[in-house]
Amino acid sequence: MKLTRLQVRHVRILDDVTIQPDARLNIIEGANASGKTSLLEAIHILAQGRSFRTRKTREVVNRDADALLVFGEGRENEFTHRLGVKKSNREKTEIHVDRQRVQGVSALAVLLPLLVITPESHALVSGGPSRRRALVDWGVFHVEQTFHRHWLTYERALRQRNALLKQGASSASLVVWEREMAVSGNEITAQRKRYVDTLAPRVEQYMKTLLQDVKITIGLKTGWGNEPFHEALRTGREKDERFGYTTLGPHRAELEIRTEGRPASEVVSRGQQKLMVMALRLAQLDVFQAATGRSAVLLIDDLPAELDHKKRDMLLAQLSQMDLQIFVTTTDAALIGSETWSSSKMFHVEHGRVSSRC
């Protein structure tokens, strides 16, 4: 789905902002601290129920307000969808999809598939495994219809097993949950493997375009050894009892990113890591589009700061050929050429006020 209307209330410095985005390229320009990133945060909240900068609601809600509100309207296959999120300092997050109150953020994510690239994105390569696991799961969630259901089943069984381990319960009582973990865990892993296998050649192709002299390989680390998962749970029981939680399984999976046979983070520079993240994200968007025939939203915070001008132009040319709705922030709109785009809009941000520029 592409956003046709966005309304933002009390998101950081943005008090009351309404915009009608372009279906393709939206350039959000303004001075430092004017509120550009806050606008991207608002879109992220609409798609995933939370900011990409912090998990703390209080930081994102305007200091003089109690709650933030984001509404979005968009079209897909002749249908108009309306999404709404209210995040409050005191109460549970409220989510509405097409005027119905829903629990959980998955209904938002299904309608508004969204990825984000920020100046901190290199942490995807150099940071902990959870970010790389999230990268894989974003893709699997959108291309495999049963993934979310299996994940919920797995998580519930994992929570139960962990609770029993903490209580020092007998092995016999663990077995029931291990059985459930094994069934859902194997499904999750098979789907993740399929996704990573589809992703790998596309990552390689984008790496060739963006970073000719570095080759990377990606592969899935399942979260346990080579034995069947149910066996790994059984043989790992003693260790898990000592630790008081489940030390292996799909919840410990991750995407391995290697170059020259070593973890990429040990070999390449920070700038190269950023380009790797671009290649990964472009490949994800490709796979998503090929598998679903739908278009996604891409947020890019501060693009000029990410890349030199040659790489930036190369990336924009590539993006202009994809069926995406893009929101990109910059302090200097002249750095982002919109000539190759079939359509674009420019928004100027100043002290939390947003105006549309032709």
Ligand X SMILES: Nc1ncnc2c1ncn2[C@@H]1O[C@H](COP(=O)(O)OP(=O)(O)OP(=O)(O)O)[C@@H](O)[C@H]1O
Residues that bind ligand X (CB under 6 A): 12-13, 30, 32-38, 59, 62-63, 329, 331
Q: Is 35 assigned a ligand-binding role in the annotation? A: yes
Residue whose token pair is 């489940």: 246
Q: How far is the CB of 63 from ligand X (least distance, A)?
A: 4
Closest contact distance (angstroms) between CB of 11 and ligand X is 8
- Is 30 one of the annotated binding-site residues? yes
37 labelled ligand-binding: yes
Residue at shortest CB range from ligand X: 37
Task: Judge whether 38 is annotated as a binding position.
Answer: no
33 annotated ligand-binding residue: yes
Q: Which residue has the tokens 């919920």?
A: 152
Instruction: Give the separation between CA 171 and CA 233, rounded to whole angstroms.
Output: 11
> Which residue number, 153 or 331, has a Cβ lying nearer to ligand X?
331
Which of 251, 280, 258 is closest to 122 using CA atoms?
Answer: 280
**Least distance (Å) from ligand X to the CB of residue 87?**
12
Closer residue to ligand X (CB): 23 or 297: 297
Query: What b-and-e string marks burial along 230-260, b requiring 16 or more CB atoms within 10 Å of the CB?
Result: bebbbebbeebbeeeebebbbbebbbebbbe
Task: Give the nearer residue to ligand X in terms of CB position, either 9 or 133.
Answer: 9
Measured from the CB atom, the residue of 88 and 331 that comes closer to ligand X is 331
Provide, rounded to whole angstroms, the least separation between the CB of residue 337 and ligand X.
20
Q: Cβ 329 to ligand X, closest distance in Å?
A: 6
Q: Which CB atom, from 33 or from 152, has the smaller least distance to ligand X?
A: 33
Q: How far is the CB of 251 from ligand X (least distance, A)?
A: 33
Q: Please identify, using beta-carbon distances, which residue of 204 and 302 lies nearer to ligand X.
A: 302
Q: Which one, 143 or 349, has the nearer CB to ligand X? A: 349
Judge whether 67 is annotated as a binding position. no
Query: Closest separation between CB of residue 18 and ligand X, Å?
Result: 17
The residues that bridge with 100 in the sheet, in sequence order, are: 97
Annotated binding site for ATP: 30-37
Annotated binding site: 30-37
